[in-house]
Structure 1
Amino acid sequence: MSVWVTEEVMRRALRFSCRRSLWQPRGLQVMTSVRDASSPDQPLSHIWSTRQSQTLLAGNLVSPVRYYFQGKIHTEGLEEKGRLSAQPSQSSFPTKIQPTETVSEQTLKRIPFYNKLEGCGSPTDVLDLTTQYLPTNLQISNCLMHMWGTTKKMSEEQLRYELQLMFEHPEFDKLLQMAMKGAGNMRSKDLTYSLLAMVKLGVPQRSLVVQVFLRTCQEKMNKFDEKCLSILASCLDHMDSSPNVNALKEGMRLIVDARLPSIKNVMALQTMMRLVGKDAPLVLKKKLERKALSMTDQFSLPNSQHMISIMATMGFYSKPLLDICSKKITENIHGIPFNRIFMVLRACKELLYRDLDLLTTISDNIASTMDIWSTKQVVLFLSVFEQLAFCPTALMEAFAGRAMANSDTLTLWELLCVLKAYSFLNYDLQDHRQQFLDNLSQALDSYLSKMSAPAVLKAVYCLCLLGHFPAAPLEHLLQSSILEQLSPTIPKLLRSQERMFQTVDLCLRLDRPPLPRPLTVPPSVLGDPAPCNRSVHPRLSRALQDALGDGADGTLQEAVVVENFYLTDGVITKPLPVTKGSSPAGEESSPAESSQRIAVICVPQSAFCYGTSHPRGLLAVKIRHLKILGYTPVLVTEQELESVSEEERVAVLRRRIFPEHQGADAEPKTD
C-alpha cells in the first residue's frame, strides 16, 4: 500500500512539474511580445491597425531578394521575435521523456477545445473560446481558419456585421499577438493557413502581424512542400503588391525553377505551374510548357481538364498543350460533371482559345442529356458559349423547348442571360421563334416593376436585336422615371447606353413594329452620332475600283454612313438589267426603281459565330436594316482580303457584286 501511495505521489508531482514548465513560459512570452510590439501606452489594436503598421514598417523594409535569400529579419522591432523563435516550441512537450499518463492527460485536455471550436458559428464565438484556453500554435492556426470558415456562407450584410464585431472584440488583438509571437515555431502548413485566414478575414496587409508572417514564410520557404506552396500562392493571389509579397512570389518562382527537373508526376507539375502566376517571366513559362509536353502521355482526363484551367491561371497560351488536352476531353466527354466542364469553358474564354470539335462535343453532350442539368446550369453554359462567340445549335434548340414550357419559372438573371445569348448569337428557332419570344416576353413583363433601369434597357435592346417588339417593356423603358435613372457618369458606360438607345430608335423607325401607340426614343438619351473615323481598307478600296473598271457597270461611293449610324465601306449603284415587259410601254421608271444599291461591308471574322459564316447579333441587325432601306448587303471578311492575291480579290468582288455575269458560279451575298 505504501509503495502504491509513493508511486501516486510521484505521478502527481510529475504532472504538476510538466504543467508548470509548459504554462509558465508562455505567459512570460506574451508579456514580452506585447512590450516589443507597442509601448505600454499603446493599445493592442495597433498590432493589426493599418496606420500603426505603416509607422512600424516605415524605413525598415529591406530588399525583398535579401529577405528571401538571407532568411533573416533585419528590423529592430522584430529582433525579439527572432530570439523567441529559437526557443523551444510553445506547443511541444519538453524533450525529456515524459510519463505516459502525462501525454494521455494532455491529449484529453485538448479534445474539449476542438469539440467546442467545431461548435462555434461566428468569429466572435471563436474569440470567446480563446478566453477559456491559452491556445497552442496549432490551436491558434485552427482558430483563425475556423473564424474564416464561419464567414464563407454568410450574406454580405451579415458578413460586414460579424467582421465589425470581430475587429472590436478585445480578444482579437490578443489572438493576433499570440499568432505573431508563435509564427517562428509554427509548422509550415499552420503558418501558411494562418496567413491565408488573416488575409481572408480582412486583417490589413500592411499590418505588423501580416508582415511578420510574410517574412517568416520567406525564412522557411525552402522547406515548404507542394501543399504549403499552393496555400501560400492562394494567399498571395489576394494580396496587393509590396516588397515582402513580391519577394515571396519571386522566391516561389526560383523554387519552381530549381525543382522542375526532379518532377516526375503530372499533379506535382500542375501545382508548380499554378504557383508561378501570370506575371512570371516568359522563359519560366516556356520551361514549364516543355516539361508538360514531355509528360503528355501521362495525362489523365482530370489532368487535361486542370491543365487548361491552370494555363488560364498562368495567363499562358500554349496551343499544342491546349489541343492535346482538348482532344482528351472530347474523347471522354460523357460523365464529366458540370463544375469541370464549366471550368474548362471559362478557361478557354480567358485564354481566347476555341476548338470547334471541343465546343461542338460539349454542346451536343449537354443537349442529349438535358434532363440531368438544371436550368441554371444550362443558362451558365449558354452564357459562356455566347462569350466564346460559339453558337451551340443543338443546345439552343433543346433548351428552347424547356424555356417555352417553363418560362414562368425562369429567374430574372436566367431570363436576361437567355435573351442575351439568343440575340447576340442571332439564333433563329424558325417555326418556334414566335412562341419562344412571346413566352420570354410574358416572363419579362412579370419582372418589369422589380428591374433596374439598366436591366430594362439591356432586355429591350436584346429583344430589338431579335426583331421582337413587345409593347410593355418598350413603354416601361421610355417612361420619364426610367430614363432619368439612366445617366451614368462613366464615359464608357454612357457611350454603351447611347449605342443601345440608338439601336432601339432605329428598330422603331425602320422595322415599324405594330404597337398600341407610337413610341419614340427621346433625343436626350441618343447622344451625338459617333464620328466616322474608320477609313476604308486600302486593299478593299483598290479591289472595288478594279472590279468596276471604267465605271460602265456602276458608280462607287466609299465610306458611306447610312442613317447616321451604319458605316458601309462602299456603296455601288448599278443599273438593273432591262427585261422584256419589265415596264408598261410609254412609262419611264424612276432612278431608284431602275437601279440597285449594293452596300459592301468589310467585317472582322469575330462578327460571325465561330466556325461559321452566320452573322452575330450586331451584324445581323445591320444587314436587316440595310435591306429595309433598299440596299443589297455584300460581306467581305478581313481574312479574305489578307489571304488572297489582288487578282483573286477582284474576282471575288465581281462575283458577289455582279452575280448575273457569273450564272451558276455566283456565291451567296450574305448568310
Structure 2
Amino acid sequence: MYKSSVDMLRCALRSASLWKCDSFIWTSTALQCRSRSFVASSRWGKTPTQGCPSHRVRYYCQPGERGEFLNVEQTTKLQPTDPSEPPLEKRAPFYTHLQDCLSPIDVLDASQRFPESQRHVSSMLTRMWDTTKKMTEEQRRYELQLMFDHLGFEELCDRAATDAWRMRSDDLVYSLLAMIKLGVSQNTRVVQTLLRVIQERVNQMDEKCLSVLAGSLRDMEDSKNVQALREALRLLLKDRISGIQSIVVLQSMMRVVGKNSPLHLKKQLAMKALSMTDKFSPPNNQYMFCSLAAMGLNFKPLLDVCSKKIAENVHEFPFNRLLAVLISCRELRYRNYSLFSSVSEYVVNTFDMWSNKQVILFLVTFEDLGFKPAALLDAFAERILRKSDMLTLKDLISVLKVFSLLNHDLKDDRQEFLVTVTKALESYLSKISHIDLLKAVHYLALLEHFPQTLLEKLFQPDTLDLLLEKGRQSNKVQKGLQGLDLCLRLDQPHLPPPLTSITNFQIPAPAQELPVNQEVLNVVREIVGNDAVQESVLEQGVYFIDCVITSSGQVEENRGAHDDDSGTLKCHERIAVVCPPHNSFCFGSTHPRGNLAVKLRHLKKLGYKTVLVPVHEFSSLTEEEKIKMIHKLILPTQESTESQTIEQESLKT
C-alpha cells in the first residue's frame, strides 16, 4: 500500500518512458489538484494578502484526455533540497567535467560516471542547451536527433520526473527552460510533471526563479497547465510590481503577461518600467520595445525615453537588436522620426559592413513604417548598379517593392537602375512563379517602367488565366492586376497592342462612396464660388477626387482683378483637389507614397492640374491660414506675382 496518492503518481511516472510523446498514453485517470492561492510572498518584502480565493488547476499529461479526475492532496511537505545530497566539495569534479562537454551526447555520457543528484539533472539539461547555442542550424538538428536517440536521455528525463518533487525551485525552472529550448514536446509527461510541481512552488519563488519561469512560458503553447501558471504570475504581479528591483525580471514579466492581460496590469508594469529608466542599459532600452510589443501596449512616454537613448547610442547596437526595435515599432504602430533617422544614418555611415540581406531587411521594415531613408536608398541603388548579380529573386522583388512604394526618385541613375534590375529579373524568368512575376511587373509599372520580356511572359494565356482566377479569390492579386492594367492604359507605353491592357479584366466597382473633406470643400468654394466646383468625382472607376474646379469666374470677384492674368485660372483648365490621409505621405514629410504618386501621375495624364492638400497640416491652421493655404495651392503664380509686387514696392520705398 502506498501512503498517499502522490506516491502512486511517482510510481506511475517511473513505469514508462517519459519523454516520448507517443510512448505511453495515460487513459485511465488524469490528475486534478487545488493550487494554492497565489498570494504575495514575503520574499519581496510584502506581507501575504488575505482573502485571496483559491483557484483550481488541472494537471494534464496529454491534451484531450478523458476519464474521471482524481483529487490529489499533497500530504507530505516538499523539501526544496535533498538532505542526502553530497556537499559542494564532493560535487566539484562533476561540474568541472561538465564544462568540458561540447555536445549533448558528451553530457549524457558524463552522467553515467557520477552519482545521482537532483541538482545534477538541472545542470546537465542546462549544459546540453548551452552546447547547442553556438552550433549551426544543420549541426544543431543532427546533435538533437542523436540526443533523442540516446538511451541516457530517457534515463535523464526519468530522473527529472521522479526527482521533481525534491528539486529546489531554481533547479525546477532551469530544467523546464532547458527542456523547452532543446525541443522536448510540452505534451510529454516529464514537462507536464515539472509544470505541475512548479504550480505548487510558484508562490515560494523569488524574482530570479519567476523570471526564468516567465522565459519558459513565453516559448510554450497554450495548454491547461501553462495557462494556469500564466494566470498565477499575473495574480502575483498585482501585489509584487512595486517590489521588483531587477529590470531584467520586470521585462521578462512584461513579456509573459501577454496581450490578453487586463489593461490596468499592463499600464502598471509600464509605469514601473518608466520609473526605472535611469538604470536602463543599452540592451534594456532595446528589450523594452520587444516587451511592450509582447504586451501589445503602445506606452508613448516610455517608448520616447527609450527611443532617445537608442538614437544617442545607436552605434552600440548590432543588426539584430536594431531590427528588433524597428519591428516592435511596426507592431506597436509607434513612429519616432529621430529614432528612424539615427538608425538610417548609422547604416549609411557604416554601409560597407552590412550585407545585402541586412540592408534589405532594414529597407523593408522602414517601408512598413512609412519612413523614407533617402540616403540609404541611394547608397543601396549604387551597390545594385555595381553588383546586381548578388541579389536573389526574393531580394529583387523586395527592392522593387521598397523603391516603388516609397516613390524614391534616383534622378540621373533612374533609368540605369531600372534596366539593371530588369535584366536581373529576366535571369530568373524560367523559374519565377506567377505571383512573383505579377508582383515584379506591378512594382515596375508603379515606377513607370514596362519591360516587354516580362510582360510577354505574364500575358501568356495560361499564366494570365490562372492569375485572373486567383484574383477572384485573393484581394492582393486583384489589386495587383488592377494597378497594372491602369498603368498600361493610362501611361500608354510603347508596346505591341496585345500588351497595352489586360483582356477580360473588369475593374470592380468601389464598395461605397468616399466622404469628401467638407472643410477643404468649403474653403475652395469661398475662393472660386459654388458654380466652379464639382465635388466627389471618380476617375477611371478608381481615382477619387474630392472636388474639381472647372472655371475661374468667381476668383476675380472674390480676390480682385489683376492686370496680369497669369495668376487666374483658364476656362479650359481643370484643377483636381485631392485630400489624402496622412498615411499616404512618407512619415515626417509631405512626400507622396507609391499609390498616391501614381494617382497624381495618372490624373495629370488625364488632363488635370492636381492640388494636393495635406489634411494633417491643414486641420491645425486657423481659418485665415486655411484660406491662404488653399489660395496659394490653387493659384501659385498669382501668389508669386503678388510677392514680387510687394518686394518691388519695398525696394522703391
If the TM-score is normalised by the length of the shorter chain, which range does it land in?
A: 0.7 to 0.9
SS at match of 1:316: coil
Q: What corresponds to 1:519 in structure 2?
A: 499
Q: 1:422 to 1:273 in 2, by over 3 A?
A: same
Q: What corresponds to 1:418 in structure 2?
A: 399
Q: Which amino acid aligns with 1:519?
A: L
CA RMSD of aligned residues (A): 4.6
Q: What corresponds to 2:413 in structure 1?
A: 432
Q: Which amino acid aligns with 2:326?
A: L
Q: 1:174 to 1:269 in 2, by over 3 A?
A: closer
User: Is 2:517 aligned against 1:537?
Assistant: yes
Q: Residue by residue, what CA displacement relative to the aligned partner does 1:507-532 show, whole Å, maximum 9, x if unpaired?
A: 11121223367414544565634334
Q: 1:650 to 1:409 in 2, by over 3 A?
A: same
544, 557, 560: which one pairs with 1:567?
544
149, 157, 162: which one pairs with 1:181?
162
Q: What corresponds to 1:3 in structure 2?
A: none
User: Is 2:244 aligned against 1:260?
Assistant: no
Q: What corresponds to 1:14 in structure 2?
A: none
Q: 1:157 to 1:359 in 2, by over 3 A?
A: same
User: Is 2:437 aligned against 1:466?
Assistant: no
Query: Offset at 1:412?
Result: 2.3
State how far apart, in whole Å, the 2-side matches of 1:520 and 1:162 are. 56
Q: What corresponds to 1:506 in structure 2?
A: 486
Q: Is the 8 A contact 1:37 1:77 kept in 2?
A: no
Query: Offset at 1:605?
Result: 0.7
Query: Offset at 1:608?
Result: 0.5
State how far apart, in whole Å, the 2-side matches of 1:243 and 1:65 are. 17
Q: 1:368 to 1:87 in 2, by over 3 A?
A: closer
User: Is 2:607 aligned against 1:626?
Assistant: no
Q: 1:55 to 1:603 in 2, by over 3 A?
A: farther
Q: What corresponds to 1:617 in structure 2?
A: 594
Q: 1:549 to 1:57 in 2, by over 3 A?
A: farther
Q: Residue by residue, what CA displacement relative to the aligned partner does 1:133-187 show, whole Å, maximum 9, x if unpaired?
A: 9965445446656379759967699969977x98899887765444332222233
Q: What corresponds to 2:581 in structure 1?
A: 604
Stretch deviating more after TM superposition (426-435 or 414-423): 414-423
Q: What corresponds to 1:36 in structure 2?
A: 12
State how far apart, in whole Å, the 1-side matches of 2:230 and 2:367 are. 35
Q: What corresponds to 2:534 in structure 1?
A: 557
Q: Is the 8 A contact 1:34 1:177 kept in 2?
A: no
Q: How does 1:326-341 map to 2 (within 5 A)?
A: 326-341=307-322
248, 262, 284: which one pairs with 2:265?
284
State how far apart, in whole Å, the 1-side matches of 2:337 and 2:641 are. 31
The gaps in structure 1 that reach 5 residues or longer are 1-28, 583-592, 667-671
Q: Is the 8 A contact 1:73 1:215 kept in 2?
A: no
Q: Which amino acid aligns with 1:614?
A: H
State how far apart, in whole Å, the 2-side matches of 1:73 and 1:358 are. 45
Q: What corresponds to 1:589 in structure 2?
A: none
SS at match of 1:120: helix
Q: Which amino acid aligns with 2:486?
A: L
Q: What corresponds to 1:251 in structure 2?
A: 232
State how far apart, in whole Å, the 2-side matches of 1:596 and 1:393 are. 34
State how far apart, in whole Å, the 2-side matches of 1:65 and 1:510 are. 70
Q: Is the 8 A contact 2:604 2:610 kept in 1?
A: yes
Q: Which amino acid aligns with 1:118?
A: S
Q: How does 1:96-245 map to 2 (within 5 A)?
A: 104=90, 118=103, 120=105, 136-141=117-122, 146=128, 176-199=157-180, 205=186, 208-245=189-226
Query: Offset at 1:110?
Result: 8.3
613, 622, 630: which one pairs with 1:653?
630
The gaps in structure 2 that reach 5 residues or longer are 40-51, 60-67, 644-653
Q: What corresponds to 1:382 in structure 2?
A: 363
State how far apart, in whole Å, the 1-side matches of 2:427 and 2:120 are. 53
State how far apart, in whole Å, the 1-side matches of 2:405 and 2:124 are. 49
Q: What corresponds to 2:293 in structure 1?
A: 312
Q: Which amino acid aligns with 2:12?
A: D
SS at match of 1:595: coil
Q: Is the 8 A contact 1:48 1:209 kept in 2?
A: no
Q: What corresponds to 2:476 in structure 1?
A: 496
Query: Offset at 1:495?
Result: 1.2
Q: Residue by residue, what CA displacement relative to the aligned partner does 1:446-491 show, whole Å, maximum 9, x if unpaired?
A: 1222322222221111111111222222222222343355478797
601, 612, 616: which one pairs with 1:639?
616
State how far apart, in whole Å, the 2-side matches of 1:640 and 1:424 are. 22
Q: Residue by residue, what CA displacement relative to the aligned partner does 1:621-642 show, whole Å, maximum 9, x if unpaired?
A: 1111111111111122332453
SS at match of 1:230: helix
Q: Is the 8 A contact 1:30 1:178 kept in 2?
A: no
SS at match of 2:541: coil
Query: Offset at 1:118?
Result: 2.4
Q: Is the 8 A contact 2:214 2:253 kept in 1?
A: no
Query: Offset at 1:302?
Result: 3.5
Stretch deviating more after TM superposition (505-514 or 424-433): 505-514
Q: Which amino acid aligns with 1:448?
A: L
Q: Which amino acid aligns with 2:620?
A: S
69, 78, 84: which one pairs with 1:94?
84
State how far apart, in whole Å, the 1-side matches of 2:507 and 2:122 are. 57
Aligned identity (percent) is 40
456, 464, 478: which one pairs with 2:437?
456
State how far apart, in whole Å, the 2-side matches of 1:406 and 1:606 are. 34
SS at match of 1:353: coil
TM-score with structure 2 length normalisation?
A: 0.78
SS at match of 2:428: helix
Query: Offset at 1:645?
Result: 5.1
Q: Residue by residue, what CA displacement relative to the aligned partner does 1:411-458 show, whole Å, maximum 9, x if unpaired?
A: 223222221111111110101111112111111111222322222221
Q: Is the 8 A contact 1:148 1:200 kept in 2?
A: no
SS at match of 1:559: strand
State how far apart, in whole Å, the 2-side matches of 1:241 and 1:273 are. 17
Q: Is the 8 A contact 1:82 1:184 kept in 2?
A: no
Q: Is the 8 A contact 1:382 1:421 kept in 2?
A: yes
State how far apart, in whole Å, the 2-side matches of 1:478 and 1:148 are. 54
Stretch deviating more after TM superposition (205-214 or 467-476): 205-214
Q: 1:157 to 1:307 in 2, by over 3 A?
A: closer
Q: 1:45 to 1:190 in 2, by over 3 A?
A: closer
SS at match of 1:561: strand
Aligned pairs, how many? 609
Q: What corresponds to 1:394 in structure 2?
A: 375
